[in-house]
Amino acid sequence: MANLNQDGQREQWGSKIGFILAAAGSAVGLGNLWKFPYMAGKNGGGAFVLVYFIMLFLVGFTLMLAEITLGRKTQLNAIGAYRKISKKWSWVGALGVLAGFIILSYYSVVGGWVINYIVKSFSGALKIADADVLGGMFGNLISGTTEPIIYHAIFMLITMIIVIGGIGGGIEKSSKILMPGLFIMIVIIALRAMTLPGAVEGIKYLLVPNFSAINIGVILDALGQVFFSLSLGMGCMITYGSYLSKDTNIPESATVIPLIDTGVALLAGLIVLPAVFAFGYEPSAGPGLLFITLPAVFAQMPLGTLFSILFFFLVLFAALSSSISLLEVCVSYVVDEWKIKRKVAVSGIGFAMFLIGILASLSFGRLSNITIIGGRNIFDSLDFVASNILLPLGGLLLCIVVGWIWGTDKAIKEASNDGKIEFKLAPFWAILVKWVGPVAISIVFIRSLLG
């Protein structure tokens, strides 16, 4: 009943590329497509990108390698993995499972909005260049009662169907379709955006660093974006790592996955910033970029409807590739620990997430008068608990457990396959995971609590 194949062995990825695409898909999500361009727009463009790359190496690579190594070593879910290292620390894995559960509950609501916008793109309802009108349309959607819940249900159902298929038949197979499809669409739309009249200013803004724009705020924003963009601290990579064979090159995987994630974020920047510069919109428009500013841009482009459809399918693929990993974190725990069949686990957990998601959805409409944390509605309170508390705390404790409790010598031995795989950066990584990672994440943690 556990995550076993027909031979009684733990399920494994069918191929190296299957794991890379699934893990990269877990990292690539809505944060890449709207938050990265928005953060770059807000923080000086190229200056932010440069600092982001530095933080990607110092923190992103460090935690990615730690999570995958821990999962591969233990061959267990997030809670089981920590318990195997030390029974006293199994609760750290529980934080990750809880984070995954909470995040997908409201993430699915946003996934539903995306599906709704695909339908609107096909119907021609988004062929409006007026951002104020589009803003009203978006407001009407999210404050509605029945419609957003129906689309939330559709998104959750798609996620559940994929995860029911297991590692090889569901997650790996879907990732081999979702990720190449995502890349093809994002390249096509980026090429179109970069050839718009006046787009060159947006390209320069994103890629040419203005060193005078670098300050402590830019550094902290880049650090936070790296951490949250890579889905670190919630057990996704521990869970995916647990399905790896013992001959996998972990250092290589932990390098390639963040680079793919960053590549998608940069391409998203090359869609958004050239387009908003070309049509005179504000590059730091925040979440509204996705559902208000970009539809206004597409409405003014030749073949705008086609590019609108492509773009929202792209966003859906990115959202699904993340949602299946979030659900798998929870399902893997229940299947491993409670010995429940995968179909039953997926159905039960998915339905519970759907119910909480209904409350999150209604918090923009009928339940908007209910506030929980610091005046935040239900949706924003769930996001605050998961993103500002559970994820940074999970990342910080990951560094402590891998760096100090398990020990970097043992972790390096596992990551290098007992020295069979060259891991030149091992001594440097040991310093990063024991010292740099905890300090950097503590800064993110404190700032996120204050924010």
What is the band of 448 on the pLDDT scale with cuts at 50, 70, 90? confident
Residue 39 C-alpha from the chain's centroid: 15
Give the span between the Cα atoms of 181 and 204, in whole angstroms: 27
pLDDT at 343: 96
pLDDT digits (tens, 9 = 90+) for 148-179: 999 999 999 999 999 999 998 899 999 999 99
Nearest Cα residue to 149 out of 361, 348, 445: 361
Confidence of residue 261 (pLDDT cuts 50, 70, 90): very high
Which residue has 């096509």 as its token pair?
Answer: 188
Q: What band does 4 get if pLDDT is binned at 50, 70 and 90?
A: low
For residue 270, is pLDDT > 90? yes
pLDDT digits (tens, 9 = 90+) for 192-249: 989 988 889 999 999 999 999 999 989 988 988 888 888 888 899 999 999 999 889 9
Question: Could you give the percent of the chain with pLDDT greater than 90?
Answer: 74
Query: CA–CA separation, 426 vs 432, rounded Å?
Result: 10
Q: Which of 306, 277, 282 is nearest to 292 (CA)?
A: 282
Domains within the chain, CATH numbers bracketed: 16-450 (1.10.4160)
End-to-end CA distance of the chain: 43
Residue 444, pLDDT > 90, answer: no
Per-residue pLDDT of 323-348, as tens digits, reads 999 999 999 999 999 999 999 999 99
Residue 286 pLDDT exceeds 70: no
* Helix and strand counts by DSSP (H, E) for the chain: 24, 0
70, pLDDT greater than 80: yes
- How far is Cα 32 from Cα 45, in angstroms, rounded to an integer? 15
Region label for 198, one of left (φ > 0), alpha (ψ between -120 and 50) or beta (otherwise): left
pLDDT, tens digit (0-9, with 9 covering 90-100), for 374-390: 899 999 999 999 988 99
Residue 1's pLDDT is what? 42
| Confidence check: pLDDT of 113 > 80 | yes
In the predicted structure, residue 120 carries a pLDDT above the cut 50:
yes
